[in-house]
Amino acid sequence: MAFRWKNDLKDCDVTDEAVFLNRRQLMAGAAAGIGLAATAGGRVGAAGELVPNAWEDITQYNNFYEFGTGKSDPVTYADELTTTPWTVTIDGMVDRPADYAFEDIMKAMTVEERIYRLRCVEAWSMVVPWNGFELADLLDLAGVQEGAKYVRFETLYRPEEFRGQRNGWIDWPYVEGLRMDEAMHPLTIMATGIYGRDIPNQNGAPLRLVVPWKYGFKSIKSVVRITLTDEQPVNTWQQILPNEYGFYSNVNPNVDHPRWSQATERVIGGGLFQPRIPTLMFNGYEKEVAAMYEGMDLKKFY
Ligand SMILES: Nc1nc2c(c(=O)[nH]1)N[C@H]1C(S)=C(S)[C@@H](COP(=O)(O)O)O[C@H]1N2
Ligand SMILES: [Mo]
């Protein structure tokens, strides 16, 4: 399995949490009394680099309704999920539809580290050092056909292990979708690790989508099916509350949720007196992704 460093965000090719934390302390020290500052778009170190959250923040404060709706339900019940064997069905408008074994996918993909901001629609955020591969590379493996316009994703449905799936208010399995250009964008990854370790169950083992410029709920966990289609998929949150959650769900400080402002966010791990920070357009990835939405009314296509 190759490991290649590529990132638009400033950082070095560290793969281990200890190195990250050590580096964070060094940066804090270098700032001589200033320490880590929280500015728009996450916590930044003295050199202006994005500082990932601690392993504990990332793996103990989660949204994964398959395990329950509480933030600590996913870590509490994570062990009830088995992730071996794991296959991902890639079907629909592809040249090579098949059940792809997770190990075979990993052999074919190049895993890299990507330090991304994660902004939940509930107005909290963190910074996560993911390991993963570009979704585009996986789709190339299956061979996307000409007429495909969207990608539809499904999470595992296994109520024996996912206790949250034993109640009926969500029409399981969890579904998400992307437009083809969004799916093929180099920032869009399938994450298989965090801090160089296998991704924990509560974060969506063994592989989950990460789309950093969209609200967190687009980043569907524990994916078992990827379908190429010419129809725009109806994603789970759009189905439940269509007036509140749309298909696009791009992070946008200027388009409020009907029940709360999206202008600012609470930084997880920032401590009790950490002020809220301004939310950035497209979660700070405007330069990379804005062109895909040129001419679109983002208030209408929320
Ligand atoms: N299958 C599935 N995927 C999901 C969710 C979920 O409940 N089920 N929650 C989403 C939400 S709301 C967020 S904010 C992110 C949280 O990812 P994290 O727990 O790894 O930080 O996962 C997203 N992916
Ligand atoms: Mo979320």
Q: pLDDT tens-digit profile of 27-66?
A: 444 444 445 666 666 777 888 888 999 999 999 999 999 9
Q: pLDDT tens-digit profile of 3-19?
A: 444 444 444 333 455 55
What percentage of the chain exceeds 70 in pLDDT?
A: 86
- Give the model's pLDDT for residue 47: 84
DSSP result, 181-222: HHHHSTT-EEEEEETTEEPPGGGTSS-EEE-TTB-GGGS--S
Q: pLDDT tens-digit profile of 80-90?
A: 999 999 999 99
Q: Whose CA is nearest to atom 6 of ligand 1?
A: 64
**pTM metric for this prediction:** 0.91
CA distances from 158 to 75, 86, 172, 194 (A): 17, 13, 10, 24
Cβ 222 vs Cβ 204: under 8 Å: yes
pLDDT at 245 over 60: yes
272: buried, middle or exposed (CB in 10 Å: 19+, 13-18, 0-12)? exposed
Expressed in angstroms and rounded, the spacing between residue 220 Cα and the centre of ligand 1 is 6
Q: Rounded to whole angstroms, how far apart are CA atoms 301 and 290? A: 14
Expressed in angstroms and rounded, the spacing between residue 215 Cα and the centre of ligand 2 is 6
Paired tokens of 214: 């969209």
Q: Whose CA is nearest to atom 12 of ligand 1?
A: 217
pLDDT at 267 over 90: yes
Atom of ligand 1 nearest to the CA of 209: 24
Place of tokens 């996560």: 128
Q: Rounded to whole angstroms, how far apart are CA atoms 276 and 181? A: 32
Please list, in sequence order, all residues whose beta carbon lies within 8 angstroms of the beta carbon of residue 138, skipping any fewer than 6 positions away.
90, 105, 109, 190, 226
Q: Whose CA is nearest to atom 14 of ligand 1?
A: 216
Widest CA span of the chain, in angstroms? 58
pLDDT, greater one: 35 or 228: 228
- Give the model's pLDDT for residue 32: 41
Mean pLDDT computed over every residue of the chain: 90
- Give the model's pLDDT for residue 35: 55
Question: Which ligand lies nearest the alpha carbon of 78?
Answer: 1
Expressed in angstroms and rounded, the spacing between residue 241 Cα and the centre of ligand 2 is 14
- Give the model's pLDDT for residue 36: 66
Question: Which ligand lies nearest the alpha carbon of 176?
Answer: 1
Expressed in angstroms and rounded, the spacing between residue 100 Cα and the centre of ligand 2 is 28
pLDDT at 294 over 50: yes
Q: Rounded to whole angstroms, how far apart are CA atoms 188 and 213? A: 9
Q: pLDDT tens-digit profile of 158-184?
A: 999 999 999 889 999 999 999 999 999
Q: pLDDT tens-digit profile of 97-125?
A: 999 999 999 999 999 999 999 999 999 99
Q: Rounded to whole angstroms, how far apart are CA atoms 71 and 259? A: 20
Cβ 220 vs Cβ 155: under 8 Å: yes
* CA nearest neighbour of 64 among 197, 201, 178: 201
Residue 243's CB is within 10 A of a number of other CB atoms, namely 8
- Give the model's pLDDT for residue 271: 85
- Give the model's pLDDT for residue 175: 99
Q: Whose CA is nearest to atom 23 of ligand 1?
A: 217
Q: Best of 64, 170, 208 to mutate for ligand 1, by most ligand atoms within 8 A of CB?
A: 64
Cβ 196 vs Cβ 16: under 8 Å: yes
Give the DSSP H or E segment for 83: none
- Give the model's pLDDT for residue 98: 98
